[in-house]
Structures are given as C-alpha cells and as structure tokens.
C-alpha cells in the first residue's frame, strides 16, 4: 500500500478555515449586539429612574452653593488684604501709646496731666500741681525715663507758670519721640 496518497484535498482545509472565521465573526457580531443592547437598556433605565428635572435641580443647587462659596472667598480675600494693610500701618506707627504710658507711670501722685499734644514726633505734656517739689520730681523722673528709653530725646522745659488765684503750678515739657 501507498502511504503517501492524500485523499483529502487542500480546498477542504481552506473551506474549514473560512467557516471557522465566519463562526467567529458571527459570535463577535452577537456579542457586539448584546453589548449595544445592554448599554441602551442601561441608559433607558437611568433616564427613566433619574428624571431630568431632579438633575437640573441638583445642578442649580450646586451652582448656587459654588456662587455662595465664591462670595465668601472674595470676602475672605478682602478681609485678609485689609488685615495685612492694617498690620503694615501698625508696624510703621510711632510708639506713642507706650511712651505715654511710661510717662504716666512716673507721674507723681499729686500732679495731674492737663494736656498732651503730639505733632511731628514732638510730644508736649502739660502737668499741674501745687508743689514745686513734685514738679522737680516729675522732671527728674522724665529725665531718667529718657535716659533709659531710646525713643525719647531732647527734653526741654517750655514753660513753668504759677497761678496765684488757683495756687498751683503748670509745667510744660517738650520731648522728641523717635523710633
């Protein structure tokens, strides 16, 4: 017998490959059809159970919330800007309250301050009392304060007056205030 005889022709193998391809394309087409159908059903269910009006309401609520947050953010930025400007102004401010507080701490108890005037870094302070000893003590205390404080310099006695009708003395001092 002859083992080399081929009874099956090559055309049948090619036909089988084409049939297999056709099966594969048919399966792919059916799967694609099912996927498209499932997507269509999904969108139908979503639009049916999630009404368009509720989505629009949620959208408008979200936009309203965003606009309110934007207004708060603008307000926050405005306040922050004002605070930084105020801080810059305070940093440049002369130390008048500190200096005046130190002066009042050293004021003798029987003297009263009649007037304080600050113009262009010059402090004028007018004190009244019935005793020249208290006036002397105030001047010495003021001098000691100027010696210990770098913000005070150039102390001058502008006036010393005596009022006979009231029986009291009035002393006016002038001092330069520096940073």
pLDDT tens track for 92-112: 877 778 888 888 888 888 999
Distance CA 58, CA 75 (A): 26
Is residue 25 one of the residues assigned to a domain?
no
Distance CA 142, CA 123 (A): 12
**Inter-helix orientation angle 132-148/96-105, to 10°:** 140
Q: Look up the pTM and report it.
A: 0.50
Is residue 155 one of the residues assigned to a domain?
yes
The count of structural domains within the chain is 1
Element containing residue 82 per DSSP (H, E): helix 52-92
**Structural domain span for residue 162:** 96-177
Which CATH number does the domain housing residue 156 bear?
3.30.1360.100
> Alpha-carbon dihedral of residues 106, 112, 115, 116, nearest 10 degrees?
10
pLDDT at 91: 84
């Amino acid at each position: 017998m002859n083992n080399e005889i081929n009874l099956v022709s090559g055309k049948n193998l090619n036909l089988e490959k084409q049939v297999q391809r056709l099966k594969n394309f048919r399966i792919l087409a059916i799967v694609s059809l099912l996927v498209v159908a499932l997507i269509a059903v999904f969108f139908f269910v979503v639009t049916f159970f999630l009404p368009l009006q509720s989505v629009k309401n949620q959208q408008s609520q979200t936009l309203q919330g965003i606009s309110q947050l934007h207004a708060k953010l603008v307000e926050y930025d405005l306040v922050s800007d004002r605070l930084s400007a105020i801080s810059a102004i305070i940093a440049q401010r002369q130390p008048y309250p500190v200096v005046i507080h130190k002066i009042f701490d050293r004021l003798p108890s029987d003297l009263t301050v009649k007037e304080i005037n600050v113009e262009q870094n010059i402090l004028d302070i007018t004190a009244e009392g019935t005793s020249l000893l208290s006036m002397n003590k105030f001047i010495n205390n003021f001098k000691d304060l100027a010696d210990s404080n770098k913000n005070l310099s150039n102390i001058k006695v502008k006036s010393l007056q005596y009022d006979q009708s009231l029986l009291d003395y009035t002393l006016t001092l002038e001092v330069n205030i520096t940073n």
